[in-house]
Structure 1
Amino acid sequence: MNPMHAMNYNVSPVGYQPQNPSVAQPVGFIAHTDSQYESKIDNLAQKLDLTFQKLNKLDNIESKINSFENKMTAVTKDVNELKKTVHELEKSVKFTSEKLDESEKNNSEIKTKLQSIQTLETTNANLSAQLQKLSCEMNDLNERHVDLQSRSMRDNLIFHGIVETDNENCEDKLKEFIAEKLDIRHTVEFHRVHRMGRRVHEKTRPIIAKFVQFKERELVRKSAFTKLKGEQNRNYGINEQFPREINEKRKLLYPYYKSAKRQQKRAQLIYDKLYIDGELFTPPPQDDTNNPQLDPPTRSGPTESRRLSAAAPTFTPRPRGGGRGGKGQRR
């Protein structure tokens, strides 16, 4: 409200006491009173203006306070969100830290296992080297063993087709065979003579004989090439005795030996080597059906099959006096 309108609403100024209107006042006094009244009215109006200004300022302050409170509310909300985010980050950091610890532990275990693997690889390499060394030694020992067997069988011959009877004397029967079939009339001496393997009904076992003298063995062996020809002697056969390893090699070479003979080539099967026209023959791989040197191997005849299938047993020492006749026969 405008303070200049206070008189219209009978508002009395502070400290003003109205006079009785029925009492006449002097003119000078009235002028002085109006001037004083106006002065007070002006002061009061100024005070009201100041009051309204302060009220406006208070309203502005209240508005700013409300705005500040809203902002603080928003800030508080943001802070809470930040706290929540920080809490989540802390959980994530903790989880990451645990995973890192676990990864470090796993890395440590992996390193330990890698070291173990490296140790095993080193051990395996050492074992492989030792195994290779042992394999070479075994091969060397096997070659020596085969060589010793070959030397012990050097004086031996195997006779096929000599009829087997009960209670026979193998040595006497062999001497009779040599005299009649090979036409060798002088007495041939043997260390041991016996049948090979266990007796099977209706099957003739070969006779193996160890000669006292190598030259007599060679005489008997070479006589077989000329004396055992013909249909009447087709069931007889004489061949050298070799260790099993040598026999297997000879079985592979024998068909090529026969093929070379059919082609009128000069062929020699010596120990485990085949020489054709003076040159060492190497058989082709088993899956190679095209042989550039010889015809494909053919099946051997009955006598040849018996020769190729002859076993190579080792000799066991016998007491003296038991190596001849029926006493030396292996049952």
Structure 2
Amino acid sequence: MATTSNCPKEPSNADIVTYLKRKDDRICLMDKKFEAIDKLEKKVEGVNGDLKKIWAYLHDIDKKTSERLRLIEEKTESVDFALAQAISKISSLEKQRDGLKIDLTYLQSQSMRNNLVCTNIPEALTENPDTTENKLREFMVDKIKITQDLVSQMSFERVHRMGSKVDGKNRNIVAKFTLYKEK
């Protein structure tokens, strides 16, 4: 048999060993890459577990925050209601106070309508209500020119000086007539 030049030559044992060594090196390299991928998979699973825990924690915080916000809103509504009631009560009390002021002013004017205030009547160092009444009667006769008979007939519930005594100043005299007609 004759050899043909077109046939591929058979690889030698050394070529096959070299070829197998290269394939073995590539397989080792792929094994290392698979190990790295396995490690990455484990890390991803760990991160995934951590993310699930964080998600659960955030969900729990969201529930608690929502509940607290609901309670705050309820309290705010309650406070708003109480404030509205307080404002209404204050308004009512202010109206009542204004009415009482009017009533008090009326009562004061009614209780004082029988009063007569006289000024610039000299005051003695030691003066009692009887002395003050006598000085008032003298003033009515001497200065106001009312007859002695009329002044003697006038009856007073009370005659007194107003305020506290100050040296060198005469206090006003308040005379409360028994009858308004006499005033």
Which TM-score band applies after superposition, normalised by the shorter structure? 0.7 to 0.9
In the alignment, does 2:144 pair up with 1:182? yes
Deviation of 1:54 (Å):
8.9
Contiguous gaps of at least 5 residues in structure 1: 1-37, 39-48, 218-331
Is 1:117 equivalent to 2:79 in the alignment? Answer: no
State the one-letter code of the partner of 2:143: K
Aligned equivalents of 1:120, 1:163: Cα separation in 2 = 64
Q: Which residue among 77, 80, 84 is the counterpart of 2:43?
A: 84
SS in 1 for 2:93: helix
- Deviation readout 1:110-133 (Å, 9 max, x if unpaired): 221221121111111111111211
Aligned to 1:193, the other structure's residue is in SS state strand
Q: Please tell me the residue identity of whatever aligns with 2:109.
A: S
Cα deviation digits, residues 127-166 of structure 1 (max 9, x gap): 1111211121121112111111111111212111111112
The number of aligned residues is: 168
1:205 — aligned with what? 171
Normalising to structure 1: TM-score of the pair?
0.45
Q: Confirm or deny that 1:195 pairs with 2:157.
A: no
1:99 to 48, 58, 61: 58
1:289-314 per-position Cα deviation (integer Å, ceiling 9, x unaligned)? xxxxxxxxxxxxxxxxxxxxxxxxxx
CA distance in 2, matches of 1:212, 1:132: 41
Instruction: Work out which of the two has the higher radius of gyration on C-alpha atoms and give 1 or 2.
Output: 1
Moved over 4 A (4+): 52-62
Cα deviation, residue 203, structure 1: 2.8
State the partner residue of 2:4: none
CA RMSD of aligned residues (A): 2.7
For 2:116 and 2:52, how far apart are their aligned partners in 1? 91
Q: For 1:214, what is the secondary structure of its paired residue?
A: coil
**Between structures 1 and 2, the one with greater helix share:** 2
Aligned mates of 2:50, 2:39 — CA distance in 1: 16
Distance 2:55 2:170 in 1: 88
Q: Where does the alignment leave 5 or more consecutive residues of structure 2 unmatched?
A: 2-9
Higher relative contact order (CA 8 A, sep 6+): 2
Instruction: Give the counterpart letter for 1:110 in structure 2.
Output: L
SS at match of 1:75: helix
- Give the CA deviation at 1:207: 0.7
Deviation at 1:105, TM superposition (A): 1.2
Give 1:170's aligned residue: 132
Provide TM-score, normalisation by structure 2. Answer: 0.77
